[in-house]
Structure 1
């Protein structure tokens, strides 16, 4: 069976997902990168700005204005590390957690609508396979 290349198919799907998510993010007053940061911090595994940048594939210097904006809006907390005052420790504030939950719920609802026509077994297999492939791709790729 002839098919498009993976890059073509994933690119098309990626563009559709971004177009679907943009109005949701705009309604909540957060950028795509802001949401990426909130999502990474919601996982609790990232504590420093350098570790965050590496985990999401962002340049450290370009990440600073995003963190500044989120901090000014009281969505994240950024404090000096008592062990090394040059290092900033990051965490979500309660308003940040609430915003992340609200945005994620709307995005998941839109994803459910997108995948709704697929049989349940196909949907589960797609999500499981996509998660496995995503784990194999370093954050900085792409």
Structure 2
């Protein structure tokens, strides 16, 4: 039985985490994700952007003009949120919305030149954030982490 009394930890022991917490992989993954998310959001805010903005711009750049429904499918952004994201991007002239000639009930969203420039700027910011988050890892460890994370994401039903 321990002689430990609550509130009597030595100052050197106050920041030591219990072994079962230190070794709980899901907790470690969550803590790393929280740090990564915080840093990414900080970088994007400096560019007056959000993660969903980046997702839409990157998707349009890679796949070309798309309907809002296609963007929902490719990015995982909820349909109701996509309208807001497209409105924000259109207000900043990063995308253009126009009626689909094949179905006038649909809009086609197209990346503008300004949107492409913003995407390149965001690419650099996110590369900096990734570099900061992964700083203690070697390049092969970074590749291994990416492969392992992709396996987890795929296993849990998300396409990447």
Superposed pair shares fold, TM > 0.5: yes
User: Quick one: structure 1 residues 58 and 120, their matched pair in 2 at CA, closer, same or farther if it must change by over 3 Å?
Assistant: closer
Aligned counterpart in structure 1 of residue 90 of structure 2, from 59, 67, 71: 71
Please name the residue that 1:16 is paired with: 35
8 A contact 2:54–2:119 mirrored in 1: yes
Please name the residue that 2:12 is paired with: none
1:89-135 deviation line (CA, Å, top 9, x unaligned):
12211111111111111111221232222222212211233234445
Please name the residue that 2:122 is paired with: 103
Number of equivalences: 137
8 A contact 1:46–1:52 mirrored in 2: no
8 A contact 2:64–2:111 mirrored in 1: no
Q: RMSD in angstroms over aligned alpha carbons?
A: 2.1
Long gaps (5+) in structure 2: 1-19
TM-score (normalizing by structure 2): 0.74
Q: Residues of 2 paired with 1:116 and 1:49: CA distance?
A: 37
Q: Which has the higher contact order (CA 8 A, sep 6+)?
A: 1
> Considering only CA atoms, is the larger Rg found in Structure 1 or Structure 2?
2
Q: Residues of 1 paired with 2:114 and 2:128: CA distance?
A: 21
Q: Residues of 2 paired with 1:123 and 1:104: CA distance?
A: 18
For the pair 1:27 / 2:29, whether they are aligned, the reply is no
TM-score (normalizing by structure 1): 0.82
1:48-79 deviation line (CA, Å, top 9, x unaligned):
10111122222212211211111111101211
Long gaps (5+) in structure 1: none
- Runs of 4 or more, structure 1, over 6 Å off, are none
